[in-house]
Amino acid sequence: MFYGTDLKSRLMLGTAQYPSPQVLREAIAASGAEVITVSLRREGSEGDAFREILRQSGCRILPNTAGCHSVREAVTTAQMARELFGTSWIKLEVIGHADTLQPDPFALVEAARILTEDGFDVFPYTTEDLIVGERLIEAGCRVLMPWGAPIGSGQGLRHRDALRTMRAHFPDVPLVIDAGIGAPSQAMAAMEMGFDAVLLNTAVAKALDPVGMARAFGAAVEAGRTAHDAGLMPCRDMATASTPVFGMAELA
């Protein structure tokens, strides 16, 4: 549940870089996603035709502040997005490093506080740092979106132990893996670890067959969460025979 909204799908899909509007439309449908993200800058450049695709998808829109590098820029972009899309949801990005696109934790927390006080439901793009997570919760965020790896890198879950620790540290906070996912198996791994959803874009949009890849990610996320809920077997240091020794024949 995200800010009081129940969703059936645990896959969130980005809308940038697709080869054509028709492919975007078909990929959204094939993924089963109920939430799609959109940059205010992209929407502004493509206008009514792109907005119509978003409307026809039937998905909930999660505008983002992609490309913002300061608190002022992010807050202004969020306010414009709320007016344009008519939603209080905002994926908050405040980039601090040009090469890795790592978020600026100090500006992120400040912008999150300003936006929550202004009535926004903030989805902050952050790292797996526990202290930053705590500060974002204190600022009013009720969801955290730690990265798996740098945006568009396809590296998957680079720091799995840290992500597991974050999941354990925030047991009651919805956590969404955002960025760096490059393969359905990586999305499945995130869900098996107990994360609540996965947000991705490039891995689908840049695939040879975006529609097929969107379908694969939808299935992977569902399988991973089902496995988590069913209870994954623990890892062991030693082998354990699946056939009991009792009852085996004794050979002289």
152 annotated as belonging to a binding site for a ligand: yes
Please list, in sequence order, all residues whose beta carbon lies within 8 angstroms of the beta carbon of residue 48, skipping any fewer than 6 positions away: none
Please list, in sequence order, all residues whose beta carbon lies within 8 angstroms of the beta carbon of residue 74, skipping any fewer than 6 positions away: 65, 68, 92, 93, 94, 107, 111
What is the rounded distance in angstroms from the CA atom of residue 6 to the CA atom of residue 41? 28
202 annotated as belonging to a binding site for a ligand: yes
15 annotated as belonging to a binding site for a ligand: no
Could you give the angle at which helices 130-138 and 105-117 cross, rounded to 10 degrees? 20
Catalytic residue among 82, 91, 215, 225: 91
Residue 200: its H or E element? strand 197-200
194 annotated as belonging to a binding site for a ligand: no
201 annotated as belonging to a binding site for a ligand: yes
Please list, in sequence order, all residues whose beta carbon lies within 8 angstroms of the beta carbon of residue 77, skipping any fewer than 6 positions away: 40, 65, 68
CA angle, 182 then 73 then 109, to 5°: 70
8 is catalytic: no
Binding-site residues for 1-deoxy-D-xylulose 5-phosphate sit at 152, 179-180, 201-202
- Catalytic residue IDs: 91
Binding-site residues sit at 152, 179-180, 201-202
